[in-house]
Chains A and B, each alone.
Chain A
Amino acid sequence: MAGSTKTNITPPRWLLAELTYSCPLQCPYCSNPIDYANYQSELSTEDWKRVLTEARKMGAVQLGFSGGEPLTRKDLPELVKHARDLGYYSNLITSGYGMTEEKILQLKEAGLDHIQVSIQASTQELNDHIAGTASFEHKKTVARLVKKHGYPMVLCVVLHRENIHQMPEILAMAEELGADYLELANTQYYGWAHINRDLLLPTQEQFEQAEQIAQAFKEKVAGKMKIYYVVPDYYEDRPKACMNGWGTTFLTIAPDGVALPCHSARELPGLDCPNVNDYSISEIWNGSKAFNFFRGLEWMKEPCRSCDEKEKDFGGCRCQAYLLTGDMYNTDPVCSKSPDRHRIQQAITSAKTCASSNSQEKPLIFRNSKNSRIFAKN
């Protein structure tokens, strides 16, 4: 069943270091687990350095410092320097909150390669509402400072029903700020986004209109700005090749040291995800139950098993299969060949009904410790 011994194990290339779950923002689509309040402990500076060293030795080269808000870790410059010494290409994935020009210079000096700043919308009112924190003007200042100090500037905007109509203004803002890369990330419905899905999922018409505008812009700025467009898989008929295949490329380390094959894998049952406090990265990557669970193709059920596209999309996303069908071995229900495809349609219909009813009965659940403690108890 899970994990074939015949599967060839490739080394990790991308390491996502989630330094902390602490965050001053409260975005209701956050990909952190909804019960993150259960995981209070954080790895020490020395532990993180060991993790970076061991993963680098295996071949990891792209490194993301993420969170929560990674700037809340006081040892960030020290970790950045260690990463640079090891030869990582490192990225700071930040809300910009708490960032100053002094820190930008300090991190540059330490060897940080690029900074990805998230902005929630093109207007202050909506940005501050979604972020749950007054942060719009400061984010724009940070974006300009990132650019000023010679980093490639990556602007990230997560798209959903509340801001997708702002697509033309979002693109104009990216141009005005001089973004080198613009990540237009349609919300992926895990974690907090999953519980807020009725309020976040755009209609197909909204999505198609926004995509058309983004596509025209992409042509206009070709050669000046690169656009990474993350598709909303609910409106696709084939699933994403999630994580480039389980345990092939990506390694995530959660704040408490739990190693995950993808940043949502914590919610899958029975994986027994190992902790870097107990095992080396090599033991975790090559030998652990969790990392071998969905490696290769042997674990698949029908219709994946006999599908001629299984080596292309690996059956899609295990977390999505689990969240929407209750069985993590199932075909990702996004696939039109999945017997559970109707669940995606139900989600789309439910969100559309919610949008048209215009009722305030069901407010957005913001990502904060108070709300997380409620999920942690259950």
Chain B
Amino acid sequence: MKHSQNQILNMTITPDQPIKFSPLHRLQWEEAQQKYVILYPEGMVELNQSSAEILKLCDSTRTLAQIVSELEQKFDTTGLTNDITAFLGVALQNGWINQN
């Protein structure tokens, strides 16, 4: 198992390619839970607000840098690159997003 985890962890975001949300998953606001969730066969992931904000921008038009700059502007802050890159790495491993 260790080997496969390492393989997956090597998946990283390619900076110059736009990121899109996987057509095999659904990102949706859940009124009853007051949060965004990702739905897929046999499963559901509950998202915190920042994760949801990032994923909502994965619409196959924006690259990593564009997502970072847009969120830094929206929340009037700087230095989000590392956090967003790390989260999108996890999202990529889980198949929630993909590139090209």
Residues of A near any B CB (own CB < 8 A) = 11, 13, 57-59, 61-62, 87, 89, 91, 113-114, 116, 150, 152, 154, 180-181, 183, 215, 218-219, 222-223, 226, 228
Nearest B residue to A64 by beta-carbon distance?
Answer: B42
Main SS of chain B's interface residues?
Answer: mixed
Contacting residues, chain A, for B26 (C-beta < 8 A): 89, 113
- A-B pairs with beta carbons under 8 Å apart, 18 shown: A13-B44, A59-B30, A59-B33, A61-B28, A87-B28, A89-B28, A89-B40, A89-B44, A91-B42, A114-B41, A116-B41, A181-B41, A183-B42, A219-B4, A222-B4, A223-B8, A223-B93, A228-B42
Q: How far is the CA of A91 from the CA of B7 in the complex (A)?
A: 30
Q: How far is the CA of A62 from the CA of B46 in the complex (A)?
A: 13
Contacting residues, chain B, for A180 (C-beta < 8 A): 24, 41
Among A57, A89, A116, residue most surrounded by chain B Cβ atoms (within 10 Å):
A89
Q: A59-B30, A61-B30, A87-B28 are in contact. Are A219 and B1 (CB under 8 A)?
A: yes
Tell me how far the C-beta of B48 lies from the nearest C-beta in chain A, rounded to whole angstroms: 18
Nearest A residue to B23 by beta-carbon distance?
Answer: A150
| B47 CB within 8 Å of chain A | no
Tell me how far the C-beta of A138 lies from the nearest C-beta in chain B, rounded to whole angstroms: 22
Proximity string of chain B (7-41) to chain A, C-beta cutoff 8 Å, 1 when within and 0 when not? 11001000000000001101010101100010111
Contact of A62 among B8, B24, B44, B95 (CB under 8 A): B44
Tell me how far the C-beta of A63 lies from the nearest C-beta in chain B, rounded to whole angstroms: 10
Tell me how far the C-beta of A57 lies from the nearest C-beta in chain B, rounded to whole angstroms: 8
| B3 CB within 8 Å of chain A | yes
Q: A59-B30, A180-B24 are in contact. Are A91 and B41 (CB under 8 A)?
A: yes
Q: How far is the CA of A113 from the CA of B11 in the complex (A)?
A: 27
Nearest B residue to A150 by beta-carbon distance?
Answer: B23
**Given A61-B32, A87-B28, A89-B28, 7 further pairs, Cβ under 8 A:** A13-B44, A57-B32, A59-B32, A59-B33, A61-B30, A62-B44, A89-B39
Q: How far is the CA of A152 from the CA of B40 in the complex (A)?
A: 8
Contact of B39 among A11, A61, A183 (CB under 8 A): A61
Q: How far is the CA of A223 from the CA of B4 in the complex (A)?
A: 9
- Contact in complex: B1, A152 (CB < 8 Å): no
Q: How far is the CA of A87 from the CA of B31 in the complex (A)?
A: 10
Nearest A residue to B32 by beta-carbon distance?
Answer: A59
Nearest B residue to A58 by beta-carbon distance?
Answer: B32
Nearest A residue to B42 by beta-carbon distance?
Answer: A228
Q: How far is the CA of A183 from the CA of B43 in the complex (A)?
A: 13
- Contact in complex: B41, A152 (CB < 8 Å): yes
Q: How far is the CA of A103 from the CA of B46 in the complex (A)?
A: 32
Q: A218-B4, A219-B1, A222-B4 are in contact. Are A154 and B33 (CB under 8 A)?
A: no
- Contact in complex: B42, A222 (CB < 8 Å): no
